[in-house]
Amino acid sequence: MKPYKHPRGNIFYRNMHKTHPQIVRGEGVYLFDAEGKRYIDGSGGAIVVNTGHGVQSIADAIAKQAGKVAYIHARSFTSEILENYAQALGEIIPLPDAKFYFLTSGSEAVEAAIKLARQIHLERGETTRHLTISRWMSYHGLSMGALAVTGKEKMRAAYQPMFQDMPHIPPPYCYRCPFGLTHPGCNLACANSLEDEIQKQGAENVSAFLAEPVSGATLGAVVPPEGYWTRIREICNQYGVLLIADEIMTGMGRTGKWFAVEHWSLTADILTIGKGAASGYFPLSIVAVKGEHVDIIARGSGDFNHGGTYSHHAVGAAAGLATLEYLRANQLVERSATLGKFIQTKLNEQLGNLAYVGDIRGMGMMWGIEFAQDKDTKQPFEPAFHFSQRVADEAFERGLSLYPGSGCIDGLTGDHLMFAPPFTITESQIETSLETMQDSIAAVHNQMPASG
C-alpha cells in the first residue's frame, strides 16, 4: 500500500497520494504557486477556464453583486442581474424562445435536464416515458442520476447497486469504431444504434437521448462523423424522444462556436451548460430549454418539480454575465476557432509522428491526444502502466498542467490526455506547451519496460 501523504491541514484531498502545490495567483494562462513556480494552465483546470485567470472585470462584478445582495431564495424572488443574464444568454443560445434554469454544477444540470424531460412527457400525458438513453464512454457527472447515464464503467461500478441504470449505446468513435467499420461506408451505424435501442426498450418508455456533441474527458475530444447529429435528430423526431445536448464542457465557445451543436445546425430540446459559463470564477451551471416545452408545464402543473438551495443565484448570475460580456468584448469565441486551427496544425507537426501518439482529434480549444503502444495496430498500453498519467505528471513537473484520461476504449484500457487552455493563450505559449508535451512523452517513452 502506498504511504498516505497529507501535506497540510485538514483538507480531504481528492487524490491522497499526491502533493498539491498551493496556488497563490493566476494571470492569463499562468498559475503561480507559493514556492514561486509558474505553470501554464494547459487544460483550463478541468476544461473550465475560457477567459483566463485574474480577469478583474469578472471579479469586480462578483464583488459588486455580493455587496448588493448575495442570496435570495429562487422560490420567492428574482433579481435584476438574473433577468439581465437570462436575456444575454437568450441572444446566443441556439434554441427558440429559450428559458434558463440556473444551478451550480454540471451534475446538477444533467439531473435537472433528465427530470425536466420526464416532466414534459408527464404534462403531455405520456406517463410511461421514463428512460434516458445515453452513450458508453460518456461523462455526465457523478451524482446518482448522472452516474446512471454516464458511460464509464470505472466510475459507475462501485455505486451501480445504488442507482437505477439507464440504457447505453456505442459512441461515434471512428478511431476505434465499436462496429469495426469505416466512415462513410458504415452508414452511421453508431447513430442508427439509437433507433435499435429505442425499439428494444419500447418507444413509449423512452423519454430522452442525452449525449455530448463532442465527447469530453472520458473519450478525449472525439468529434462525431459527418451526418451523425442529423441522423440522431431524425430518430428522436420519429419516436417522440427529447434530445438533450450536454454542453457542460463544450459550451461557451470551447469548440470555436458559442455551442458545439451549432457546428451541425442541430437544435436540441434541452441543453446543459456549465464549466465555461462563469470560467471557474463561480460554481454555475444552466439548463436551457425550448420555450414550447416550458409552456407545456406552465399550462399544466405550472411548477417544475425540482429545486436547489443555490439555484438562480444572484452572484452566480453576475459572474456568468461578466464572463459572457468578456468573451464577447474580446471576441474570444472567434479566437477559439482561429487558434484551434493553429493548435491542430502544431499538434500534428510536433506530436503526430511520435511513436506513441495514435490519434489527434478535437476542434476549437478542445483537443485530445490518444496514445497507442503500437501505432499500426492501435494496441493500447497496459492499464497498470498509467501512460497518460505519467505524461501528465512529467509535464506538470515541467510547468504544464494537462488533463489526463484513461479507459477510453472499454472503461479500463486506453490512454489519452486533453489540451484545452484558456482562449487567451498566445501562439508562442501554445508552442511552448507542445514542446513540453513532446519532452514529457519522450521521458515516459524512456521509462517503458524493455520488451522481451
Say what the pLDDT of residue 365 is.
98
Distance, in Å, from the CA atom of 210 to the CA atom of 118, rounded to the nearest integer, reads 13
Position 95: which residue type?
L
Q: Are residues 281 and 196 both part of a single domain?
A: yes
| pLDDT tens digits along 31-59 | 999 999 999 999 999 999 999 999 999 99
Check whether residue 287 and residue 356 sit in a common domain.
Answer: no
Low-confidence ranges of the chain (pLDDT < 50): 1, 452
* pLDDT on residue 452: 40
- Give the range of the structural domain holding residue 378, as residue numbers without chain letter: 23-54+331-447
- How many domains is the chain partitioned into structurally? 2
Q: What pLDDT sits at residue 307?
A: 85
49 and 61 in one domain? no
Whether 44 and 82 map to the same domain: the answer is no
Q: Give the end of a domain, one of 306, 329, 352.
A: 329
**Are residues 104 and 196 both part of a single domain?**
yes
Residue 1 is assigned to a structural domain of this protein = no
**Which of 282, 306, 329 is at the close of a domain?**
329
Regarding whether 370 and 256 lie in a shared domain, the answer is no
The radius of gyration computed from the CA coordinates of the chain, to the nearest angstrom, equals 22
User: What DSSP letter does each residue of 349-391 carry, written as one string?
Assistant: HHTTTSTTEEEEEEETTEEEEEE-SBTTTTBPPPGGG-HHHHH
Q: Are residues 309 and 354 in the same domain?
A: no
Quote the DSSP letter at residue 277.
G
Confidence (pTM): 0.96
117 occurs within a structural domain: yes
Give percent above pLDDT 90 in the chain.
91
Residue 3: inside a domain, yes or no?
no
Query: Where among 303, 329, 355 does a domain terminate?
Result: 329
Do 41 and 106 lie in one domain? The reply is no
- The verdict on residue 155 lying in a domain is yes
For residue 419, the cross-strand partners are 367
